Structure formats: C-alpha cells, structure tokens
C-alpha cells in the first residue's frame, strides 16, 4: 500500500496528491510517469509525475476527475492509501542542454511542465512559461511557476486572468520576439497539435507528452503505440515525450478514444453508486 501524505484541491475536480512511494521517487526525473491502482480491483492508470522528493520518498501527481478511477481517487484523503503505485516509467526529457526553453502547459498539463520549470530554474536557465486554462480558477501551479519562470504568461479562454486567448496565441507571439532552442508543450492532444503547428514554420524543436492508453506501462501490451515520423513507437518505453512535428496526431486522437464508451459507462455506474449510497 502507498500512503497519501497530502492531498490538496487545486481547482474544481483537480487534486494534487503527494504519495509515499520510495521506489518511484528514487530516480524520478521530469517527463516520466507512474501507474497506480486505487484498490485491489482497480485498473492501472498512468499519471505524469508533477514533482518528486527522493529524500522523503514521495511523488506528486495531479489528478483531474474525469472517469471511474479518478472519481475513486477523489474520494481518498491524506492518510488513506492506494493499492499500487509503480514508477518512474518512461524516459525523462532533458531540457537542461538547451539555453532558452519555452514551456507550455494547458490545463492539467501544467503538472508535467512544473518539474521542468523547477529544474531549469535550479540550474540557472529559467524558462519562459505559458500556462493556459479555460478560466482563472483552472490555472494550475501559478504560484510555483511565477517563482520558477523567467517570464510567465497566463492565458484564459474567457479572459478572467492574464491574456484572453489560447496558449497558441501566446506561443505565436513569443516565438516572434524571442529565440527559443526548444518548446515543451503539454496538455490535451488538440492543444499540443496546435502548438506544434505554430512552431513548425519556425522549425523550433517542439516536444510533446503523449498520455496514451496503457496497461502495464513497461513495453508489454503495445496499446500505447503512436506513429512518430512514420515509425511505430511505444509511449511507455520510447516516450512518453516525442517530437511534436513528427507525431501522427490524427491517429493519436482516435486511439485515445479506444475504450471511451466502456469507460464512460463505468464512470456513470460509479457515480450512480454515490447517489444510491
């Protein structure tokens, strides 16, 4: 069992969990993910590592309540435990070799760029950061990012905070004004695809994080396969982060919906249980 040390609500339906998992924390690096099961009947669901502390043996994840497993997680509090927690999985992405990096986080994607922002700040190459969300209350890690970023550009769809518009609007403007060596964009697939299209004409190295459907996360089941530059890659062992200019986003968007109907049905059943019980 893996104990939840701390739980904090960051926005509506978004919780941050700090989980005691020494084996996962030991060698965690930015860009990697974990897989957890809530209970002994649970499914295996991947979550990107939002922060880690090898000394304390903890890993931080951000969970947006969108389905059955995340609904069950949302009912757990500090002091409770999850049945299984395995990681770090996938490959880290090393942005420290670049001098000037632009980090772009959409919605929950802020969790993934957070450890990168922290690390780049620590080594004295703070990144520019664009954070986007539908509305102000959904902007995640604003305090942390304002500490770590060289410049922070919050964007909201409704203009309730920062600039009104999409993250792509900010990215299009920023790449005109600054010379970036690399862009890391993390968020929903349409957002990452849009960012990759904005940076493509300028040929700026653009990395995106694929949150594919997975079972084992160790290169066994093959359901996380993505096509990158015409080649089949596995998000779990070859990724999860890939060159955004080479990803077949059309296929990736289709594959993300593979089990959507069954997942929806199960989510509804679980929600139904709340009403009944």
Site string for other proteins, 51-80 (x = CB under 8 A): -----------------xx-----------
Specify the residue, 169 or 216, whose C-beta has the smaller distance to other proteins.
Answer: 216
Give min distance, CB of 84 to other proteins, in A: 4
Give min distance, CB of 51 to other proteins, in A: 17
Q: What DSSP line would sit under the chain, residue for residue?
A: -EEEEEEEEEETTEEEEEEE-HHHHHT--TT-EEEEESSTTPPPEEEEEEEEETTTTEEEEEEE--SHHHHHHHT--TT-EESEEEEEES-----TT-SSEEEEEEGGGHHHHHHHHHHHHHTT-PPEEEEEESSGGG--SHHHHHHH-SEEEEEETTSSSSEES-HHHHHHHHHHHS--SEEEEESSHHHHHHHHHHHTTTT-EEEEE-----SSSSSSS-TTEEEETTEEEEHHHH-SEEETTTB-HHHHHHHHTTTHHHHHHHHHHHHHHHHH-
Tell me how far apart the alpha carbons of residues 54 and 172 are, in angstroms, rounded to a whole number.
37
Give min distance, CB of 31 to other proteins, in A: 13
Site string for other proteins, 167-186 (x = CB under 8 A): --------------------
Of the residues 77, 134, 151, 258, which one makes contact with other proteins according to CB under 8 A: 258
259 binds other proteins (CB under 8 A): yes
Give min distance, CB of 35 to other proteins, in A: 9
Give min distance, CB of 256 to other proteins, in A: 9
Task: For the segment 187-246, give every residue that binds other proteins (CB under 8 A).
Answer: 215-216, 218-223, 225, 227, 232, 234, 237
Give min distance, CB of 243 to other proteins, in A: 18
Give min distance, CB of 245 to other proteins, in A: 19
Of the residues 43, 80, 181, 197, which one makes contact with other proteins according to CB under 8 A: 43
Of the residues 13, 57, 74, 84, which one makes contact with other proteins according to CB under 8 A: 84
With CA atoms as reference, report the closest residue to 190 among 109, 70, 111, 127.
Answer: 109
Tell me how far apart the alpha carbons of residues 143 and 74 are, in angstroms, rounded to a whole number.
23
Residues in contact with other proteins, counted by CB under 8 A, come to a total of 42
Contacts to other proteins by CB under 8 A:
23-24, 26-27, 37, 41-44, 68-69, 83-89, 215-216, 218-223, 225, 227, 232, 234, 237, 248, 251, 254-255, 257-259, 262-263, 266, 269
């Amino acid at each position: 069992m893996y104990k939840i040390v701390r739980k904090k609500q960051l926005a509506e339906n978004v919780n941050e969990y700090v989980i005691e998992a020494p084996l996962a924390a030991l060698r965690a690096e930015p860009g990697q993910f974990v897989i957890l099961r809530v209970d002994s009947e649970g499914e295996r669901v991947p979550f990107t590592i939002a922060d880690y502390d090898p000394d304390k043996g903890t890993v931080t994840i951000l969970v947006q309540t969108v389905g059955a497993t995340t609904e069950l997680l949302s009912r757990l509090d500090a002091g409770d435990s999850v049945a299984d927690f395995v990681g770090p999985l996938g490959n880290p992405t090393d942005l420290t070799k670049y001098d000037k990096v632009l980090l772009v986080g959409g919605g929950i994607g802020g969790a993934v760029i957070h450890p990168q922002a922290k690390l780049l700040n620590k080594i004295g190459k703070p990144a520019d950061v664009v954070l986007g969300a539908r509305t102000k209350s959904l902007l995640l890690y604003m305090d942390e990012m304002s500490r770590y970023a060289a410049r922070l550009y919050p964007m909201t769809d409704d203009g309730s905070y920062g600039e009104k518009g999409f993250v792509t609007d900010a990215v299009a403007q920023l790449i005109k004004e600054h010379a970036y060596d690399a862009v890391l964009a993390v968020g929903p697939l349409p957002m990452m695809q849009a960012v990759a299209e904005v940076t493509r004409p300028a040929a700026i190295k653009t990395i995106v994080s694929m949150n594919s459907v997975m079972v084992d996360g160790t290169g066994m089941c093959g359901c996380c396969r993505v096509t990158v530059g015409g080649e089949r890659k596995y998000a779990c062992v070859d990724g999860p982060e890939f060159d955004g200019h080479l990803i077949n986003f059309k296929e990736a968007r289709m594959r993300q919906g593979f089990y959507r109907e069954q997942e929806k049905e199960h989510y509804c059943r679980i929600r139904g249980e709340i009403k009944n019980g």
